[in-house]
Amino acid sequence: MIKLPLISKFLVQIKMNYSIIQTPNSRYLHLTSIGYSKEWINLIGKIDAFIGQQPKLSYASEGNLLYFFESPANDDFFESVSWVGREIIGMPQIDPTGDFKAFDLDRGQAFRFKLSIEEDRALLFPERLAEFFEEAQMSLQKNGIEPVSTWRLVIFEENREGSLKIDVFMDFFSDDR
């Protein structure tokens, strides 16, 4: 395990070992964002409010999912399109001209790296994202795996004894998805 320096008040670690996970068929409710920023927190709040207003919708998982379509090492990454959302059960009533979109994902597999960030919901580590991404890519390539350009962050939050625990995973997909 590689320990990274303290960033503000965040302790960030990445484990270069990965696990292979099976991803189920799922429906992904999302809003479009630009790049990676702390705006994702506000967007998740809007999605949660939207789900709360629709009695036929429920959460398929507890994770917050941020999908990206290029490497954070690219110069224009922070200006590129990303999706922020949740996996849901049910068919949302969406205005086709509105901001909310739903996308059905086929089952497949992903290569999952665990990042761990303690103490704060803000998850402010964009300056380290390219480094994490490149290290994970090198780990996969050493094992003969060439992931596609779509990847995601999966963020789980849990209140434990009055403090917030955040678990973050970086998932890469293969052509088999």
Residues 6+ apart with CB under 8 A from 11: 116, 117, 118, 119
First to last CA, the chain: 28
The whole-angstrom separation of Cα 126 and Cα 36 is 7
37-66 b/e (C-beta count within 10 Å ≥ 16 → b): eeebeebbeebeebbeeeeebeebeebbbb
Give per-residue pLDDT as tens, 32-75: 998 887 788 899 999 999 999 999 999 999 999 999 999 988 88
Task: Say what the pLDDT of residue 1 is.
Answer: 31
Task: Say what the pLDDT of residue 163 is.
Answer: 79
DSSP state of 79: G
- Enter the CATH code of domain 2-173: 3.20.80.10
Give per-residue pLDDT as tens, 80-107: 999 999 999 999 999 989 999 999 999 8
Give per-residue pLDDT as tens, 103-141: 999 988 999 998 856 433 344 566 677 888 888 999 999
Any idea where the domains of the chain sit in the sequence? 2-173
